[in-house]
Chains A and B, each alone.
Chain A
Amino acid sequence: MLAKLVRFVLLTRFSKPLLGVIAFFLAYDIVIRALTNSPGFSTGFSYYAVGATIFFITVSLLFGGLFILKSDRDYLLTLPLKRRDLSISLFTAQFVGSGITILFLFGFYLGGARTLEATAVLIADLAILAAVVTALGVVSNILSTWLRAGLAVILGLWCFSSILGNPFTPVSPFTGDLLYGSIVLFGLAVVIVPVALRELAYLELGSMRSMLRATSSQYKRTMSFSGRSPVRAIYSYHLSFLELVARVNLAGSTSYRATRVRTSTVLIISSALAAVYLSLGLSAFADLLSTRPVVLILPILMGVITLVLMSQATFSNERGWLAFTAMDPAVYLRHLLLSRAVSTLAIIGPFGIVNSVLAFLGVSEGVNSSIVLLITVPSASILATYLVARMGAVQQVKEEGMMPGQFDLKQFLVIIPIYIMVALIAVSEISLIGSIIIATVVGILALLMMASKSVWRGIAYRLTERGFV
């Protein structure tokens, strides 16, 4: 029964071609790792491991969603199934959708192991880390926003402390402290995974109940659009709030909460973080922290988050029957995208400015980073949004907390062009000339695209044909 249920749950959430491609790449990944000569653990690997782990933990906690369909709520959860079977099946789907990305992106650490025993432990560690990230995505559904953010900060700082030499962190197996790191990681999994399994076993009593709660939540402060022109109304909406909507994890985790955060609040928080970043960069601590790699890696991480979030979320909450029938879709989308790009600067802008200051004070990489954060990423986000919509890889979200539908291969493959842009960002970080050329080209392309009405009218028709109404 369990095998049948796992199969059913997987096939209702992921198309067969998508599952096939995931399986192929995973097998390919493992074979390549096995045949590759051991590079050993280097400082670069450590930074990557810490950065990527913090990224996955943060994304899972802040935007982690359940791989639950509307039909699960109406049918699957009402069936007399064993709780254990249901829980394992749903966890497997969560794992395929989100945790498996860890295996793709961390696989090359296997090459860092010198012995067969160490390789076996590292393989186990990778699987456990993927399970932890998966479980955090599930657990986040029963935590309040502030608790999720707090936990993300605590776990992030814990992982970050491995750069300062702490061997007892969840990421330590991948920074050279295999024994202590493995014990800590295993301990973390023992705490978190059972909580996630229990949550999935009793969904209708936990997450689903909160989703289905009929009470209306009232906004204390609301926006007013009275007296605004159509274009000003678009800007006041999208510059006032950042919306947390839609699929965010790289392999297809969905998170839909009808949540909005005031842009001014985000700006204050990111400015405070940027100030901390600047003071660390200017202090004697900078040598220990190794500021330069941080200056290099930060824009890449921010680029990935921004591009993935922007490209997926911009249209997910859009309503064609309202916006595209009220005015020319080309005009609407042009201003929507521009306002989104500007509001993105509320998150990344302060770091761009701080990097300019660092550059002025002698950290030469700061110039590249500020060009990337202030020009390349916002411009690339417009191109990424276009690509995702053009490839038909975006889904309109209509149900609170529910997957909008089955994930297919197209939604997986759309990550490729987005990662080409991320690669361009990485190149920009290495070469100043490269960063200027890339920022200019990407900026001009974005401007040209914004200027073309036919491009955006075509997108509006395409979205409607795919069921966006």
Chain B
Amino acid sequence: MTSFGQACIEVQFVTKSYGKTVALDDVSFTIPCGERFALLGPNGAGKSTTLRLLVGLLKPDTGTIKINGHEPFSPEAKSILGYLPEDATPYRTLSVRENLEYIAALRGVGDVREATERFLDDLSLREYERAKVGKLSRGNVQKLSIALALIHKPRIVLLDEPLNYLDIPTQERVFKMLKSLDSTQIVSTHIMSIATRLTEKAIMISRGKIVWNGTIDTLKGLERGEEPIESVVARLMTNAG
């Protein structure tokens, strides 16, 4: 068990390159348990790479990552991590229900049927439960993907643009769902309204380096006059570049 304030995610001096392209350059940060962070940055800044490293899909070239004290690829870390990539696609030949049951079974969820029924109702997927995922609309695919990321009640949730493609009522439902989770969260997004509603703190990455780390309130405090928060973020990213 972890207690509030203890570090759930520790990233120390991590570097990751793809060939000659440096995606992350000597990045370090810590996320205490129970806190919610936004991961901000321009396109190609290294946000998705950061999330993939945290979830153990990639291995850092140098540096260390600990998830609740464990290596990201360890069974202990996998059991508490929930991950939603950007433009996620579930198994296209399976139906909605089959996807939910399959992933719940892979994750060793105790009551697969109960978890499946809950998400079918919570995300209004009931009418599509037998539908082939390859034929679903993008919005319904996104709803299913969110359900798949959360089906095992993860204690650490990593989400990459979770509200993409969702209609406004569903966005509100997902907001409520994420807010109600008793978990540590990192939400990568370009949309500041999502960051401000879902998180209290932010890490800003640009060109593979952390350029700012602090609370959303501090970020708002950097506004000049009537300047919106988006302009503050843009300024910080531009100055860093």
Contacts and interface: CB of A to CB of B under 8 A. Distances in A.
A240 to B, nearest CB: 10
A119 B137 CA distance: 54
A78 interface: no
Contacts of B18: 465
A325 B56 contact: yes
B81 A225 contact: no
Nearest to A221: B130
A322 interface: yes
Contact of B58 (A223, A258, A328, A465): A465
Given A225-B102, A230-B107, A461-B59, A217 B132 contact: yes
A393 B17 CA distance: 20
A214 B106 CA distance: 30
Contacts of B131: 216-219
A440 B18 CA distance: 39
B88 interface: yes
Interface string A321-335: 111111111001000
Interface in A305-330: 317, 319-329
A233 B105 contact: yes
A219 B130 contact: yes
Nearest to A319: B91
Interface stretch (B92-100, B163-171, B210-218, B221-229): B92-100
B1 interface: no
B93 A317 contact: yes
A296 to B, nearest CB: 35
A228 B107 CA distance: 11
A245 B94 CA distance: 13
A243 interface: yes
Nearest to B130: A218
A259 B134 CA distance: 9
A158 interface: no
A398 B138 CA distance: 12
B57 A320 contact: yes
B105 A464 contact: no
A145 B95 CA distance: 20
Contacts of B63: none
Contact of A230 (B73, B81, B92, B106): B106
Contacts of B42: none
B137 A322 contact: no
Interface in B102-135: 102-108, 112-113, 116, 128, 130-135
B85 A321 contact: yes
A55 to B, nearest CB: 25
B27 interface: no
Secondary structure at chain B's binding surface: helix, strand, loop or mixed?
A: mixed
B195 to A, nearest CB: 22
Contact of B106 (A317, A327, A464, A465): A327
A222 B103 contact: no
A142 to B, nearest CB: 18
B192 interface: no
B83 A325 contact: yes
B57 A258 contact: no
Contacts of B106: 230, 233-234, 322-323, 326-327, 332
Interface in A439-469: 457, 460-461, 464-465, 469
Contacts of A227: 112
Nearest to B91: A319
Nearest to A260: B93
A226 B93 contact: no
A421 B137 CA distance: 42
A241 interface: yes
Interface string B123-158: 000001011111111000000000010000000000
A465 B52 CA distance: 10
A433 to B, nearest CB: 42
Contacts of B88: 321, 469
B135 A469 contact: no
Contact of A226 (B75, B103, B105, B107): B105
B209 to A, nearest CB: 21
Contacts of A230: 105-108
A225 B78 contact: no
Contacts of A217: 131-132, 135
B59 to A, nearest CB: 6
A332 B105 CA distance: 13
A226 B132 contact: no
A323 B56 CA distance: 12
Interface in A342-392: none
Contact of B97 (A222, A260, A323, A469): A222
Given A223-B102, A400-B92, 11 more contacts: A226-B113, A230-B107, A317-B91, A319-B89, A324-B57, A326-B78, A328-B73, A328-B78, A461-B58, A465-B58, A469-B52
12 contacts: A216-B128, A217-B132, A230-B106, A237-B102, A258-B93, A259-B93, A325-B56, A327-B107, A400-B92, A460-B57, A461-B58, A461-B59
Interface of B: 18, 52, 55-59, 73, 75, 78, 81, 83-85, 87-95, 97-98, 101-108, 112-113, 116, 128, 130-137, 148
